[in-house]
């Protein structure tokens, strides 16, 4: 496939058949002789950045958005020294490795494209030596079962054979293709017990050799003898959904090769207890109006300390969750089965995710408080606390609880959420499976609809001594009203009361891309609800999720790592910020440049592993 060469910040000249955007819509029609937007391979980067002169920003924005998801087929199997282009690493910087995972490949060599969520996992590692002021970089594809099947080891060519939950193949087997659950290990990364793992939303984690980034293989989180010790909590009477589950299991497990238990990509670390918390759900939960969640707690040596299964009488979609000393907390994003979509999905005419829809049938948001131990069972956990606001929760920053003198318990949860009116399974990141293109307008809706976009919230719950809910309210975490996501805190305070929270947000200065991609880091004070400050990157550069690195006893004494994507020059940079100085001119500590031939697409979630 021929790559689009994009030598300056002026977008490629469009042919006469291309339609210019109108009314804020990015309805550019690309002729057949131009590759699809998401199929773009990494172009030769420009030698210099040319200023934009009298160019409609909507056209430039369209191409900028495409280049944020450029496939990268090259790997760096040996460490490469990154070039320092600004500032320097302080000598007190704690040495370690920043791991970042995300999709790396969106198009094969036979005409098929996939949704960014179905892109093969591409693991990046930035090893920082504070004493030497050096950063070494490596990048490897995770050799999952699907990756090994879809990539020819001799020629390096790719042919997609798995549909993936969010995609439909054009150049592969479409109708009758039962290869749906494509474990790409592309969502999050974790190092625990001296071992490194990459996680996905629908299967077992993959273990990675941390020094070479070689793939070890799938990791059996919970062995058979440990599963027998799981405490099952829920209905004791067999009902119609038990029968339906037994009918579905051989189809899902046998025909579609889905794992019985799907581990979620988001885990939690209880730093004060030294525990890793992981959650799984059952494959049939996707199709039934009930949900089975199993929570596992491990010590630092990966010994299973406890596990509990909760059967919840509600059809839920959970991506992220929270915990406190006493509870696991699930925000019930309500979903429902779409019959017409299910038929089309099974036939291969639409993505499998078409079988599901958001379910805005109630004006409230269910919050399930599940006991971490038997001593905490003061209330019927199957009955959710209905928060007086309809909210789809995306990511959780922190949660903690405080016991008052009168015996009541106050629970605070900080998270990012959006409206059911905005969230759409089939249009995440603006990917259109029919055309294989990315539409920036999906993430940047018309003026007046900004209130539906992701923003930071604080959920406050008051429980009486007997467990009854005295009150529950949802408020904006701060007056910062711009689109915001990826909330993070100092992990030493996870599960405890925190003062500061950081997140990725937008400056709002880009007229055609006012909400996404993000270009700013925001720091908020959760106690007095004040805006501490922001740091923004340069024009036509975007950022991913920030990661906090602690260096002292004070909560905000440390650094923030964030990857900067310069789409105008097709370069990536590792940026180090002083977390105390966010909002001041000297917040930027150092910027390191990734070599041009290793420029990589937008990552999802990262992990800081101290040496």
Numbered residues of the known binding site for Fe cation = 319, 395, 605
Binding site feature residues: 319, 395, 605
From the list 414, 411, 408, 315, the residue with the least C-alpha distance to 372 is: 411
Distance between CA atoms of residues 288 and 240, nearest Å: 10
Structure tokens at 541: 């550069």
State the Cα–Cα distance between residues 257 and 248, nearest whole angstrom. 12
Measuring CA to CA, how many Å separate 515 from each of 84, 117, 519?
30, 20, 9
CA distance 572 to 575: 10
Cα–Cα dist 486/498, whole Å: 16
Distance CA 520, CA 523 (A): 10
505: Cα separation from own chain's centroid: 15
Alpha-carbon distance 461 to 470, whole Å? 8
Strand partners, 593: 83, 573
Return the C-alpha torsion angle 207, 543, 271, 375, nearest 10.
-90
Strand partners, 418: 392
The CA-atom distances, in angstroms, between 525 and each of 14, 127, 489 are: 46, 30, 11
Closest alpha carbon to 102 in 86, 123, 76: 123
CA distances from residue 512 to 22, 55, 235, 445, 540 in whole angstroms, order as listed: 11, 12, 51, 10, 11
End-to-end CA distance of the chain: 42
Task: Please give the DSSP secondary-structure letter assigned to residue 113.
Answer: B
Q: Strand 231-233 relative to strand 304-312: parallel, antiparallel, unpaired?
A: parallel
Chain center to CA of 49? 31
DSSP annotation of 252 reads I
Residue burial 321-340, b: 16+ Cβ < 10 Å; e: rest: bbbbbbbbbbbbbbbeebee
User: Alpha-carbon dihedral of residues 327, 328, 334, 340, nearest 10 degrees?
Assistant: -150
Q: Which residues pair with 608 in a beta bridge?
A: 98
Nearest Cα to Cα of residue 100 among 68, 67, 140 = 140
The vertex-205 CA angle with 192 and 202, nearest 5°, equals 140
Report the DSSP beta bridge partners of residue 582: none
CA-based nearest residue to 18, from 6, 30, 27, 26: 30
């Amino acid at each position: 496939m021929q790559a689009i060469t994009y030598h300056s910040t002026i977008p490629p000249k469009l042919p006469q058949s291309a339609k210019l955007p109108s009314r804020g819509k990015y309805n550019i029609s690309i002729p057949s002789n131009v590759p699809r937007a998401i199929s773009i391979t990494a172009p030769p980067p420009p030698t210099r950045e040319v200023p934009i002169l009298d160019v409609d920003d909507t056209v430039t924005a369209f191409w900028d958005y495409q280049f944020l998801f450029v496939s990268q087929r090259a790997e760096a199997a040996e460490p490469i020294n990154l070039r320092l282009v600004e500032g320097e690493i302080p000598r007190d910087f704690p040495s370690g490795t920043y791991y970042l995972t995300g999709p790396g490949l969106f198009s094969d060599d036979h005409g098929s494209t996939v949704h960014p969520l179905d892109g093969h996992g591409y693991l990046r590692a930035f090893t920082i030596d504070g004493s030497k002021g050096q950063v070494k970089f490596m990048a490897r594809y995770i050799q999952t079962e699907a990756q090994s099947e879809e990539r020819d080891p001799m020629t390096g060519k790719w042919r997609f054979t798995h549909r993936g939950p969010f995609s439909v193949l054009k150049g592969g087997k479409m109708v009758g293709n039962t290869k749906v659950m494509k474990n790409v290990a592309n969502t999050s990364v974790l190092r625990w017990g001296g071992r490194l793992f990459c996680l996905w939303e629908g299967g077992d984690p993959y273990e990675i050799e941390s020094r070479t980034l070689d793939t070890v293989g799938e990791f059996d989180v919970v062995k058979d003898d440990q599963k027998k010790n799981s405490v099952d909590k829920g209905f004791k009477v067999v009902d119609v959904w038990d029968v339906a589950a037994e009918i579905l299991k051989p189809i899902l497990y046998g025909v579609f090769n889905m794992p019985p238990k799907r581990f979620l990509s988001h885990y939690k670390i209880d730093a004060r207890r030294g525990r890793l918390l992981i959650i799984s759900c059952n494959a049939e939960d996707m199709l039934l109006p009930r949900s089975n969640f199993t929570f596992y707690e491990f010590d630092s040596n990966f010994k299973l300390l406890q596990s509990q299964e909760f059967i919840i009488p509600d059809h839920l979609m959970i991506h992220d969750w929270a915990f406190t000393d006493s509870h696991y907390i699930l925000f019930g994003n309500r979903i429902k089965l779409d019959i017409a979509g299910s038929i089309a999905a099974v036939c291969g005419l639409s993505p499998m995710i078409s079988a599901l829809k958001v379910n805005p049938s109630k004006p409230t948001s269910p919050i399930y408080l599940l006991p971490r131990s038997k001593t905490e069972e003061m209330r019927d956990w199957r009955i959710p606390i209905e928060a007086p606001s309809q909210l789809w929760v995306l990511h959780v920053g922190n949660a903690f609880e405080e016991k008052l003198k009168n015996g009541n318990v106050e629970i605070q949860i900080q998270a990012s959420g959006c409206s059911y009116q905005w969230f759409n399974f089939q249009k995440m990141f603006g990917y259109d499976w029919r055309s294989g293109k990315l539409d920036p307008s999906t993430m940047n809706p018309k003026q007046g609809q900004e209130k539906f976009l992701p923003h930071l919230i604080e959920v406050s719950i008051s429980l009486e001594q007997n467990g009854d809910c005295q009150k529950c309210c949802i408020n904006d975490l701060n007056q910062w009203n711009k689109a915001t996501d990826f909330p993070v805190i100092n992990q030493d305070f996870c599960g405890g009361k925190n003062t500061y929270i950081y997140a990725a947000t937008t400056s709002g200065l880009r007229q055609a891309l006012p909400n996404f991609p993000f270009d700013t880091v925001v720091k908020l004070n959760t106690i007095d609800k004040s805006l501490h400050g922001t740091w923004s990157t340069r024009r036509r550069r975007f950022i991913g999720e920030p990661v906090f690195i602690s260096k002292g006893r004070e909560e905000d004494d440390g650094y923030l790592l964030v990857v900067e994507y310069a789409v105008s020059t097709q370069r990536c940079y590792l940026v180090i910020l002083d977390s105390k100085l966010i909002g001041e001119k000297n917040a930027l500590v150092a910027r390191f440049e990734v070599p041009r031939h290793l420029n990589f697409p937008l990552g999802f979630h990262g992990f800081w592993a101290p040496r």
